[in-house]
Amino acid sequence: MVKGREKQNQAVKDFIEKEVLPHIQNHEEYEGKVDKWTQRFEAIRSIQGLAYGADPDKFPKTDPWEGCADIGIPLEAITLRAIIARFVKTIFTKPICNVTGRGGQDKNEAKIVEEYNTYTLEDEMNFERQYYDIMMDVGLTGDGIGKLIEADEDYSWEETYFTLINPISGEPILDPSTKNEYDENWPDGYPIEVDENFQPTPNPVLNMTPEVKEITVEKTDKVYFGTKLIPVNPKDFITPEGADTYDIDELPFMAHKFRKSWYWLKKREGDPKDGGYENLDKIKPSEDQDKTISTLKKIDLIEVWGKVDIENSQGEKQPKEIIALYAIEAGELLGWIPNPYKGKRMFFHWQIMPMPHRFRGKSIPEFAKGLRDLIDAIFNHMVDRDTINSHPPFVYDEESGFDPEVHTFGPAEFWGVSDKTRLGRLNMGNTSEYNSEWILEFALGLLQKLFGVTDYTLGAESNIASNKTARGIMAIIGEGNFSFDTMISILQMTNKKFFEANIQMHAKMMKERGMEKKVFYVTESQDNPFRQIARNILSLKWNFIPRGTSVETNLYRKREDAMLAYKTLGSEVFFSPEMSPTTLNNRKLLVQRIIDAFGLKEITLPSAEELAQEMIKMKATVQQEVMKKQQLEQLKKVAKFKKGTPEGEAAKRVLADIEMGQASSPQNSPMGGKNNAQPTT
């Protein structure tokens, strides 16, 4: 190993051990908070009952008495599920993201980049499913972390069959129809497959007859070439203590803890300069000799992205953005490379309730803590109160003749007592539940206002809605939508960065593989679904504009607005289909809104350019008809006023020819009119 590389390795190792690893210890407090919020989300008992333990069967609640109410109202789960459903519904409207050029890029190129981005998200990386997990982390912990990785995956298998062997060279004869560029062993095709009893014919050119022989062939095929989004547990994402920005690229460093088997690392062993791993024999765990199957435990690893002062070839230290892998327990650096993504870190940070000057955001359980505690306590108090009021202590005078060991409660029981006036229930005072109900409704109302999810948007009924007018309800829905839309906008900011990084990573992968073009398909295309995109197109700078806002997600409101807009603006001169190409396109946009609102995907309207061309043709046709009419009138005047002259007679003959031509046309023939009677036999 080059001495300069050894110094660089030591600099990276020192950086990790001195700057990064100490923050893992400080991270434990945050991990405890996440565990607490998750426990509250998953609780199957009241928050007060959680103090006894997670399992109510093993650790029953005993206060205020054994068997008291221990009911948990899953506010966090209800709120989180409702919010995430709206997140996913809103963000994954079609198209997910619009793409426009930053310079003179052609609109068709922007369109194909948009289609390719959608293809990679939906058909390759299964973006919606991964995004759902990340949104769960956002709601539970306040932060959702996603990692974008390159995935170039092959699958190998063995096949045994009979083939033809060249007796001179001893090599199998290949089948060119099975050519596979992804198989390095057989790039020109696999050995041809024949039956065991196949009789080969002599080859007069090579002066030989192939031999039939059984062989075993290892075949390889490409199963995935593209990018993947990996949800990262926020507990495994390490940042500097006191980080004051949400932007991962602006942090001094960041690290991702994960666990992998030694065999996973061994498969990737190689030159660290090329992204391979070294020092693997130093970290190989010992095998359990008592078991027949190898059970090597997984290794705790940490992947570090950050700026490290590294000596260059001149011996000068310069900050360099690097990516390194380090085995925590063994204390070994397994490899590092300079960041190949132009200094950008391929981790993305989603939040819905960010906090200024902090990396971590706020979670739903964190904000709802006090309300959940209050509602659980009041609800269980109401149940306990109903229980004790329905079965209050029984008061009796010892002289009454009542004996609790003899006289039991229940139907068809007979009591022999001397004085029943000395028996009775203990008066428990005011037993009305109204005193608690208003607190429950008040707390639920606060929770709904906090997260923009109301009874109205959920389609539920409650006493809160009983005294609201239709206009008032729409105002509340609108307020909730705008509150929710703020969260969507914050998410879309990260989506924009993610979409851009995804396309740039695809361009990088194609360049490294020597691919000039890539074929993909558009699922919803009504014509040829296959498309082809060039690497140089992907490498350009594009503007990514995520679609979807919560204000637009109400389907019925969307349809109503589209119809109202058409009715209100359709008669305006600026939406006239006859005035100009611009006004015709304005009207087309009104119609397009109606088509989109009703989901009529089978209808495709012409583009603005096509409309302009149609209008030019229409105007030209109208102008021709006007000119013909003017010429006809002129001929009639000449025939009338210059009767008997050569000029007048010529005009008369032209008019006669025109009339005969019209008479011979189908619409003017005796049989051509649709109202004419047909001949009978």
Residue for token pair 């309300």: 371
pLDDT (average), residues 326-341? 94
Using left for φ > 0, alpha for ψ between -120 and 50, and beta otherwise, residue 498 falls in alpha
Pairing assessment for the beta strands 517-521 and 530-534 based on DSSP bridges: antiparallel
Give Dmax over CA atoms of the chain in angstroms: 146
Query: In terms of domains, do 118 and 251 share one?
Result: yes
Task: Give Cβ neighbours of residue 108 (< 8 Å, ≥ 6 apart).
Answer: none
User: String of b and e for 251-285 (b: at least 16 CB within 10 Å)?
Assistant: bebbbbbbeeebeebeeeeeebeeeebbbbeebee
Query: How many domains are contained in the chain?
Result: 3
In this structure, are 178 and 302 located in the same domain?
A: no
One domain for residues 128 and 33: yes
**Segment among 135-149, 199-213, 459-473, 646-660 with least mean pLDDT:** 459-473
Clarify whether residues 69 and 158 are in a common domain: no
Alpha-carbon distance of 443 to 437, in angstroms, equals 10
Percent of the chain as helix, strand, coil, to the nearest 5: 45, 20, 35
Range of the domain at 312: 3-150+233-288+296-350
Cα 56 from Cα 66, distance rounded (Å)? 12
pTM: 0.72
> Residue type for 59, please?
F
Averaged pLDDT, 430-444: 70
In this predicted structure, what is the pLDDT of residue 459? 42
Which distant-in-sequence residues (6+ apart) come within 8 Å of 349 by Cβ? 143, 144, 145, 246, 247, 248, 494
Helix (H, G, I), strand (E, B) or coil at 226: strand
What pLDDT score does 308 carry? 94
Residues 32 and 112 in one domain: yes
Omega cis (within 30) before 646: no
Average pLDDT over residues 645-665: 75
Q: Residue 122 burial by CB count (10 A; 0-12/13-18/19+): exposed, middle or buried?
A: middle
Q: Does the pLDDT at position 26 exceed 90? A: no
Average pLDDT value for residue range 635-651: 81
Q: Could you tell me if 137 and 29 lie in one domain?
A: yes
pLDDT higher than 80, residue 287: no
Residues 98 and 18 placed together within one structural domain of the fold: yes
- CA 18 to each of CA 22, 28, 324: distance values in angstroms, whole numbers, following the listed order: 7, 18, 14
Q: How confident is the model at residue 663 (pLDDT cuts 50, 70, 90)?
A: low
Is there a single domain that holds both residue 25 and residue 126? yes
Which parts of 16-156 fold into alpha helices (H)? 21-26, 28-42, 47-50, 75-91, 107-119, 127-141
> Residue 12 falls within a domain, yes or no?
yes
pLDDT in tens, 133-153: 999 999 999 999 999 999 988
Comparing C-alpha atoms, which of 8, 52, 69, 39 is closest to residue 376? Answer: 69
Whether residue 240 lies inside any domain: the answer is yes
pLDDT at 397 over 90: no
Same domain (yes/no): 30, 170:
no
- Residue 215 falls inside a structural domain: yes
CA distance 634 to 630: 6
- Return the closest-CA partner of residue 548 out of 590, 621, 496: 496
